Amino acid sequence: MKTLRSYVAGRWHEAGTGFRTLVDPCSEEPIARASSAGIDFGHALAHATRQGGPALRGLTFAERGEMLARASAALHERRDELIQLSLENTGTTRRDSKFDIDGATATLAYYATLGRELADRRHLVDGDGVQLGRSPRFWGRHVRVPLQGAAVHINAFNFPLWGLAEKAACAILAGMPVLTKPATSSALVAECAVEILIEASVFPAGSLSLVCGSTGDLLDRLGPQDVVAFTGSVTTAAGLRASPKLISAATRINVEADSLNAAILGPDVATATETWAAFVREVTREIMQKSGQKCTAVRRILVPAHRIDEVEAALADEIDRVVVGNPREESVTMGPLATADQLRDAVDGVRRLREEARLVRGTGDRVDGVGNPAGRGFFFGPTLLRASDADKAGAVHEHEVFGPVATVLAYDGTAEHAARLVARGGGMLVTSLYTDDERFLADYWTAGAATSGRLYVGSEKVAPLLPGSGLVLPAMTHGGPGRAGGGAELGGVRGLDLYLQRVAVSGDRASVERLAMGGSDPASSAPEVR
Ligand code: NAP
């Protein structure tokens, strides 16, 4: 069995004790083990901050972007190997594995291009200069400079490569070294990816470290110049936020957590329209893609009350076409859940939902998978439920079942009612709205825009172009209020914010301008961000 290694302080570390076992979710056979026992986290952190930090801060955005381009190319070159590992480790179909691997290389490439655009500067100028008193000589500017600590990235199991890449791209482009920790259950992919990047000597020493296993005492060592970016459950996030050391050092923490995302069918959308087809196609994809183990997956489907039977029948038809099984089998369109724990949570979760919703499709229990021995594997069929009363429902709005599970709910056809129901989720990553009625859209905007980090509008005009509400594009912010964690990642240059300190600098106009514009040549302008 393979023993996963960590890469810290410029060398590979293999633990001798404290292992957790990774299993193939189809066969349930062990495939690797991981532990971070024996890592000197103080030394690892010091190496990152003393070597990686200064090296990155010494480079321009264009140079950092160039490294991200090389990282993207190096990973893309080994794409097939990474896809295969993802399949073995997380049970994803080839198509779903590509979603993770290609999403990672595309995000790195996106930030590489952004680095080129930000050009040969090392910080960002934020807005215009401002005269601060009666004399134009006393002048102020806002400038964003990289923090001088390390960025600790803690990722969830479901996107082992994309999670690593989207966080690392922003931190490294901003000029901060990264210590990345994949979820242990799916760490095989991240270990391989970091090995590829180290072999290719993409980043300067100390810029990228990998911790396979627990974070040990790393978080207790962080200070005010460090950053934690976390993706995972609300419960783990709450524990991190309550950490006395992180509180006393006021270490920045970004959280991406659970989300009860909603898809709303507008009252205007008739069947046999492009908008209807997009709604049915996309909601089905959101239920089954990556076996529903996506933070952006649709969990609640809001439908005008008089259309609910129609919607239920259309979605049930689509779901009946899904083939659940071992992704090594060609006919299979949906793989198993990633771990035994995920399966147990899905079974428990559906049991809770069934107290207020009836099953339309699915059994609420483990199933056998096509092309897999009976009784083996963490398979759970696509599951559609229908809530008896959307207003009275509790768990449907509050409990995220992290699997191929969604519930249809009736609303009265007004944007205000839809918005009230969506808000019961306590803060979402994304809400998708399928409508061609600008009035309905505007009413929803007024009543509910603030409850989700992203509003995705599907209409006739864009129906052929829609990528799916669950797709996180690097140009758009990923994150949402409340239960979704209150964090923000990506969103183009906004994604760098977490790793930059905004400094308000005031003084003699000429010297402030020289500092802000990046050196002795005030004539050449630094990239400006408003
Ligand atoms: P999790 O159990 O909270 O674990 C997430 C990460 O935190 C893992 O790397 C885990 O490491 C680590 N971790 C756990 N306890 C920790 C501690 N005390 N200190 C430091 N690190 C700790 O979540 P998960 O089961 O992997 O992921 C599923 C959840 O993530 C779902 O609820 C989903 O909604 C959410 N999610 C959110 C997003 C988003 O972008 N908003 C994306 C994906 C997933 P180990 O694996 O070693 O325990």
pLDDT tens for each residue of 93-107: 999 999 999 999 999
Separation CA 78–CA 74 (nearest Å): 7
Closest by CA position to 103, among listed 155, 164, 151, 16: 164
Separation CA 530–CA 522 (nearest Å): 19
Instruction: Tell me: pLDDT of 459 over 70.
Output: yes
Separation CA 171–CA 150 (nearest Å): 9
Across the range 394-412, mean pLDDT stands at 98
Residues with a known catalytic role: 256, 295
Closest by CA position to 230, among listed 454, 519, 501, 498: 498
Nearest CA, atom 5, ligand 1: 232
Q: Where are the strands (E) in 107-215, listed by range?
A: 124-131, 138-146, 151-154, 178-181, 208-210
Across the range 283-305, mean pLDDT stands at 98
Separation CA 175–CA 192 (nearest Å): 24
Nearest CA, atom 36, ligand 1: 232
pLDDT of residue 124: 96
* Residue to probe by mutation, ligand 1, list 157, 291, 477, most atoms within 8 Å of CB: 157
**Ligand 1 centroid from CA 154, angstroms:** 7
Whole-number average pLDDT of the chain: 96
Instruction: Tell me: pLDDT of 403 over 50.
Output: yes
pLDDT tens for each residue of 90-142: 999 999 999 999 999 999 999 999 999 999 999 999 999 999 999 999 999 99
DSSP letters of 188-244? Answer: HHHHHHHHHHHHTT-S-TTSEEE--S--TTTGGG--TT-EEEEES-HHHHHHHHT-H
Instruction: Tell me: pLDDT of 523 over 50.
Output: no
Taking CA atoms, 490 is separated from 60, 254, 453, 465, 472, in Å, by 20, 12, 12, 21, 9
* Residue to probe by mutation, ligand 1, list 19, 22, 154, 478, most atoms within 8 Å of CB: 154
pLDDT tens for each residue of 363-376: 999 999 999 999 99
Q: Are the beta carbons of 372 and 428 closer than 8 angstroms?
A: no
pLDDT of residue 192: 98
Closest-lying ligand 1 atom to the alpha carbon of residue 485: 41
Q: Are the beta carbons of 157 and 183 closer than 8 angstroms?
A: yes
**Ligand 1 centroid from CA 285, angstroms:** 23
pLDDT of residue 518: 75
Closest-lying ligand 1 atom to the alpha carbon of residue 258: 34
Q: Are the beta carbons of 408 and 311 closer than 8 angstroms?
A: yes
pLDDT tens for each residue of 376-397: 999 999 999 999 999 999 999 9
Ligand 1 first shell, C-beta below 6 A: 154-158, 181, 183-185, 214-215, 231-233, 236, 239, 256-259, 295, 400, 402, 429, 484-485
Closest-lying ligand 1 atom to the alpha carbon of residue 154: 9
Across the range 441-465, mean pLDDT stands at 98
Across the range 294-298, mean pLDDT stands at 97
Structural domains in the chain? 40-257+488-526 (3.40.605.10), 261-474 (3.40.309.10)
Considering the chain, what percentage of its residues have pLDDT values greater than 70? 98
pLDDT of residue 525: 44
Angle between helices 79-90 and 187-199 (to 10 degrees): 160
